[in-house]
Amino acid sequence: MSKYRLQAVVFVLVAFMLGCNEFMVVGILSDIASHLHVSIAAIGYLVTIFAMVYAVSTPFITILTSKYNRYKTMLVLIIIFLIGNTLSGLATNYWSMLVSRVVTAAVAGSIISLIMTFTTVVAPREKRANLVSWVSAGFSIAAVIGIPIGTTISTNYGWRYAFYAVSVITVIIFFLLIWLLPKHVKQVQGSIKGQLSLLKDRRIYLAVILVLFTAASMYGYYTYIRPLLTTTLGFSNASLNILLFVIGFMSIVSTRWSGRIADHGGLRVIPKYYVVNTIFLVFLPLALSTKATGLTLLLMISLIVTIFNTPVQIHFLNVAERDYPQSLVLASSLYSIFFNFGISLGSATSSVLVGTVGLRNISLGSAVYAVISLSLIIALNRAIKAKKQASKSYQPE
């Protein structure tokens, strides 16, 4: 196996490791709550807190560490992550668990940002979209495989061992990164103000708002996917894991499909998918009348909703590489930062709608966010086209 292929596998493993740490808690909420003698709702807040700390801390840590060697920075962040994850397994009360989750969330975003930055170094340009889509798929694989594995470990051996398993994976990845990461890569130093100048670019701030509202559109219904399947559609709890696995598998297919789209048309072809997604979300309340139509439409939405993933990631990296080289690592973190903000917006919206229009109709809120996303992707494509035309018309003397 070539060194590039080994590096690609390790990069995907890093995403899988981070995804397991973030998503695994969902499957073992009741076990943690029982042992720490707190309510499930209190443990549930750990998920929200993790997402917020992840989103808020990532740009600060990314900017502050940008002046240091990326190879050494990655290893230090992995060690901090290992400490935080292990402390979760050792937690004796709610507050020690909270601190451990804050520690891991604080560095998780910067780790994946650096991994995305390293993809621009190790992957030939024609293979960059494929590698980015695989790294993104690592999170989906963690959601599909990591959650049931973590639940199984928790059920048979105890929830602490689920965290210890992630720690073992982290140690293995640490040594693989020492072996495979480029130790010296060209990086442009820049002041904090210089790095933040990236956000003034219309092609960037339109894209980050697009990420936010697309995530809000997804989690406007996905937050309540379990009750939608059981309460609304009437599937049994026994079949729930299989159904969630199938939905998760569709998201993996979506992520890989987005890699192909990034290579063939990119953001230019994305608007039509947003149109289809909006239509599906509007008709979902009607489709939920029967198991067959409801499940089919949920699977179709799962296939489409993250289709923009890789094209947007590549867009951030390409704009930074060409015009803001001092902001490359920050650019690579923008997707995860604003996707987490979007998760918070979408989940909050769905919680409000459940109490007002009912569980069956919560996708209407998602449809509104999908329409906003559609207008944003159209505006973004126009901004990209305008920039290209301006560049062509400029003739240096």
Please say if the pLDDT value at position 97 is more than 70: yes
Please measure the distance between the N-terminal and C-terminal CA atoms of the chain and give it in whole angstroms: 49
DSSP string computed for 3-40: HHHHHHHHHHHHHHHHHHHHHHHHHTHHHHHHHHT--H
Classify residue 37 as left (phi > 0), alpha (psi -120 to 50) or beta.
Answer: left
Rounded-to-integer distance, Cα 145 and Cα 118, Å: 26
pLDDT interval class at 397 (50, 70, 90): very low
Question: How far is C-alpha 79 from the geometric centre of its chain's CA atoms?
Answer: 21
Mean pLDDT of 250-260: 87
Q: Are the C-beta atoms of 370 and 281 separated by less than 8 Å?
A: yes
Q: What is the pLDDT of residues 52-83, one digit of tens each?
A: 888 888 888 888 887 888 899 999 999 999 99
Q: What is the pLDDT of residues 370-386, one digit of tens each?
A: 999 999 999 999 999 99
Q: Are the C-beta atoms of 116 and 71 separated by less than 8 Å?
A: no
Q: What is the pLDDT of residues 182-232, one digit of tens each?
A: 887 776 666 677 778 888 899 999 999 999 999 999 888 887 887 888 889
Domains annotated for the chain, with CATH where assigned, are: 1-187 (1.20.1250.20), 190-391 (1.20.1250.20)
Mean pLDDT of 97-114: 92
Q: What is the pLDDT of residues 330-350, one digit of tens each?
A: 888 888 888 888 887 888 888
Q: Are the C-beta atoms of 71 and 185 separated by less than 8 Å?
A: yes
Rounded-to-integer distance, Cα 377 and Cα 261, Å: 15
Average pLDDT of the chain, as a whole number: 87
Please say if the pLDDT value at position 140 is more than 90: no
Rounded-to-integer distance, Cα 143 and Cα 365, Å: 24
- Helix count and strand count (H, E) for the chain: 17, 0
**What pLDDT score was predicted for residue 4?**
86
Single pTM value for the model:
0.82
**What pLDDT score was predicted for residue 396?**
47
Please say if the pLDDT value at position 8 is more than 70: yes
Q: What is the pLDDT of residues 14-60, one digit of tens each?
A: 999 998 998 777 667 778 888 998 887 677 778 778 888 888 888 88
At residue 334, φ and ψ (nearest 5 deg) are -60, -40
**What pLDDT score was predicted for residue 188?**
63
**What pLDDT score was predicted for residue 106?**
92
Rounded-to-integer distance, Cα 340 and Cα 227, Å: 22
Percent of the chain with pLDDT over 90: 40
Please say if the pLDDT value at position 367 is more than 60: yes
Please say if the pLDDT value at position 100 is more than 80: yes
Least confident of 112-126, 136-150, 259-273, 377-391: 136-150
